[in-house]
């Protein structure tokens, strides 16, 4: 006989947070949103901690290198989508790691006898306007000069003009010696009003470039996610089909953490993938797994070695798994049960495994509910797909500006590996749709507003940290009529043009 669950499958919209005492110390500026990304033992600290509880979904229309950089600046982390050839995925990872807030290995290099036409081609290829001029055109060749967009004018200069004629030559450059600290390099930049400081070795070979803008970016983004070399942290998605070929390439490219992308993580395929990674690369390589919706699924992946576990099936805005297969669970119910299983596992083993709520977020306050119910961070797709930094273009649809957004299980993505059941490599039916989302502008502007709402809600809950919220939060079920009561009602709303 089939097993029947006594509890109703519920969503975040069916709950409200009940206020606690807000103390004078509980101010938005005192709220910490840091949260563990990977598992750790009792009494120890996790190897990776998020500064804000946000990661972006492993989707073609969401997580590329530009969004990964923008989110890392704000304190979160992206997982570069894996439904693409491993070479292009690895290149996206490299672009994030090269976007370094500190000593940068130059990847826009030219020779003195190159022409302005060569300069234009390099600029179009890399997007960089500052170029190192080295004797052999390599990143570590003998430095001959620096060329910036201020050194030429395309309307006046011939495209056949030699770089040596327009560059700032070495004898007019201010340089730093290899081995100086980043602080010293930044002091030189400020003292001499430079935009870029080349770092050279004793033989005059270029080692790094240090940019003024990186210092400014760091001051503007104090929560940014950086590794020990001041590079942005970035994750990469993998599947359970070609992981033996994909994982080595992604790690070589610099991926800081991996995550298995699957609609159903309670499978032997995921267990084998995790164990292969751990056996071949050790515990230092972190890998998330999922998705699951109950305690049994959590326990299975925990015992397989997962470093974090994603929760949620069928709750995404473009996911139709529940319609197609009748598989899934209300996101709130799933998070509550898995969080309970995680806490019991911690009591038994002394190992805390973070859980990620993936899907079901409609309003900003749903993030706070997910955290209060036990999630350590949330993964979102639709939210990030709306921003300038996501991969899709802004288009006009009627009188509205929108961006395209499609599911990994849609015919457009054809990511059959995500829905793989172990047989033939074809997608038999769709589990996602192709859609539009309202264009919202820059990630930073929108995310700061969302974080402001989250901190304000946490203050009302009397909580100054996510851990505090989990312990103190009071949550109430709501009726359908109280949901109506919670919005504007019984009034005639003014049009914006009336203001």
* Catalytic residue IDs: 319, 418
Helix or strand run (H / E) with residue 31:
none
Nearest in space to 133 (alpha carbons), one of 205, 85, 181, 29:
205
Q: 324 with 343: CB under 8 angstroms? A: no
Please provide residue 6's backbone torsions phi and psi, each rounded to the nearest 5 degrees.
-75, -35
For residue 366, CA distances in Å to 113, 263, 288, 362, 363 come to 59, 21, 23, 7, 5
Preceding amide of 79 cis, omega within 30: no
Residue 419 to residue 175: CA distance in whole angstroms: 54
Residues 6+ apart with CB under 8 A from 469: 368, 371, 372, 458, 461, 463
Angle (CA) 121 125 130, round 5°: 80
DSSP secondary-structure letter at 445?
Answer: H
Angle (CA) 375 380 381, round 5°: 160
Q: Sign (positive/negative) of CA torsion 43, 374, 65, 278?
A: positive
* Straight-line distance from the first to the last Cα atom of the chain, in angstroms, rounded to the nearest whole number: 62
Q: Where would I find the H helices in 47-148?
A: 65-74, 86-98, 116-126
Please provide residue 104's backbone torsions phi and psi, each rounded to the nearest 5 degrees.
-105, 130
- Collapsing DSSP to helix, strand or coil, 458 comes out as helix
Nearest in space to 163 (alpha carbons), one of 177, 179, 152, 178:
152
Which string of b and e fits 81-93 if b means at least 16 CB within 10 Å? bbbbebeebbebb
């Amino acid at each position: 006989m089939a097993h029947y669950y006594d509890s109703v499958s519920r969503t975040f919209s069916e709950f409200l947070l009940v206020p606690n005492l807000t103390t004078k110390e509980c101010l938005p500026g005192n709220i910490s949103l840091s949260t563990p990304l990977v598992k750790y033992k009792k009494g120890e600290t996790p190897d990776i901690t998020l500064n804000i509880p946000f990661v972006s979904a492993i989707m073609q229309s969401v997580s590329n290198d530009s969004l990964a950089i923008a989110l890392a600046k704000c304190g979160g982390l992206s997982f570069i989508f894996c439904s693409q050839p491993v070479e292009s995925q690895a290149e996206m990872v490299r672009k994030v790691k090269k976007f370094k807030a500190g000593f940068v290995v130059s990847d826009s290099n030219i020779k003195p006898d190159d022409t302005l036409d060569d300069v234009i081609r390099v600029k179009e290829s890399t997007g960089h306007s500052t170029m190192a001029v080295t004797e052999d055109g390599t990143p570590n060749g003998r430095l001959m000069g620096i060329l910036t967009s201020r050194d030429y004018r395309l309307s006046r200069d011939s495209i056949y003009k030699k770089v040596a004629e327009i560059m700032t030559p070495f004898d007019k450059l201010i340089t730093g010696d290899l081995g100086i600290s980043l602080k010293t390099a930044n002091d030189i930049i400020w003292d001499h009003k430079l935009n870029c400081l080349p770092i050279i070795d004793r033989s005059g070979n270029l080692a790094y470039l240090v940019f003024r803008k990186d210092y400014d970016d760091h001051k503007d983004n104090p929560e940014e996610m950086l590794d020990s070399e001041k590079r942005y942290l970035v994750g990469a998605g993998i599947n359970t089909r070609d992981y033996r070929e994909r994982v080595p390439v992604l790690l070589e490219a610099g991926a800081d953490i991996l995550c298995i992308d699957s609609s159903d993580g309670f499978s032997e395929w995921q267990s084998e993938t995790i164990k292969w990674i751990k056996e071949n690369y050790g515990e230092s390589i972190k890998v998330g797994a999922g998705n699951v919706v109950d305690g049994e699924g959590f326990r299975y992946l925990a015992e397989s070695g997962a470093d974090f576990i994603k929760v949620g099936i069928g709750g995404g805005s473009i996911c139709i798994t529940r319609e197609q297969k009748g598989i899934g669970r209300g996101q709130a119910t799933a998070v509550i049960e898995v969080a309970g299983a995680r806490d019991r596992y911690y009591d038994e083993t002394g190992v805390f495994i973070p859980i990620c709520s993936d899907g079901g977020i409609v309003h900003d306050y749903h993030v706070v509910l997910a955290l209060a119910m036990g999630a350590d961070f949330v993964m979102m797709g639709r939210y990030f797909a709306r921003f300038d930094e996501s991969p899709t273009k802004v288009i006009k649809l009627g009188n509205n500006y929108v961006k395209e957004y499609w599911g990994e299980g849609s015919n457009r993505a054809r990511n059959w590996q995500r829905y793989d059941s172990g047989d033939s490599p074809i997608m038999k039916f769709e589990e996602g749709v192709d859609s539009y989302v309202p264009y919202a502008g820059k990630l930073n502007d929108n995310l700061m507003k969302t974080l402001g709402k989250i901190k304000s809600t946490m203050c009302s809950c009397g909580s100054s940290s996510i851990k505090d919220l989990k312990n103190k939060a009071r949550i109430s079920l709501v009726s359908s009529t109280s949901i109506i009561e919670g919005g504007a009602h019984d009034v005639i709303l003014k049009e914006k043009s009336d203001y």
